[in-house]
Structure 1
Amino acid sequence: MSTHSSGTTETGTDTSDVPLFVASLGVRWRDLDAFNHVNNSSYLTYLEEARLQWLSHVPGPWFDEHAMPVMAASQVNYRRPIAWPAQLQVQLFCERMGNSSMTIAHRVIDAERPDQLYCDGHVVMVWMDPASGKPVPLPEAIRSTAG
Structure 2
Amino acid sequence: MSPRKSAKAAKAEAAEAVAPAAPTPLFTATLPVRWRDLDAFNHVNNSNYLTYLEEARLQWLSHVPGPWFDDHAMPVMAAVLLNYRRPIEWPARLHVELFCERLGTSSMTIAHRILDAEQPDRLYGDGNVVMVWMDPATGKPVPLPEAIRDAVD
Would you call these one fold, judging by a TM-score over 0.5?
yes
- Measure the CA separation in 2 of the matches of 1:111 and 1:36: 20
Distance 1:40 1:7 in 2: 22
Q: Percent identity?
A: 77
Letter in 1 for 2:40: A
Q: Using structure 2 for the length normalisation, give the TM-score.
A: 0.86
Alpha-carbon distance in structure 1 between the residues aligned to 2:25 and 2:70? 26
Q: Give the number of the structure whose alpha-carbon radius of gyration is greater.
A: 2
Q: Give the number of the structure whose residues are more often helix, by fraction.
A: 2
- 1 CA distance for matches of 2:138 and 2:41? 44
Residue 146 of structure 1 and its aligned partner are, at CA, apart by: 1.2
2:107 equivalent to 1:114: no
| Aligned equivalent of 1:87, options 93, 102, 111 | 93
CA–CA separation in structure 2 for the residues paired with 1:128 and 1:114: 35
Please list the CA deviations of residues 100-139 of structure 1 after superposition, one character each: whole Å capped at 9, or x if unmatched: 0000000000001000000000000000001111100000
Give the superposed CA RMSD. Answer: 1.0
Measure the CA separation in 2 of the matches of 1:93 and 1:146: 9
Partners of 1:127 and 1:25 lie apart in 2 by: 26
Q: Which amino acid aligns with 2:25?
A: P
Q: 2:62 aligns with which of 48, 56, 59?
A: 56
Provide the TM-score with structure 1 as the length reference. 0.90
Q: Which runs of 4+ in 1 moved over 2 A?
A: none
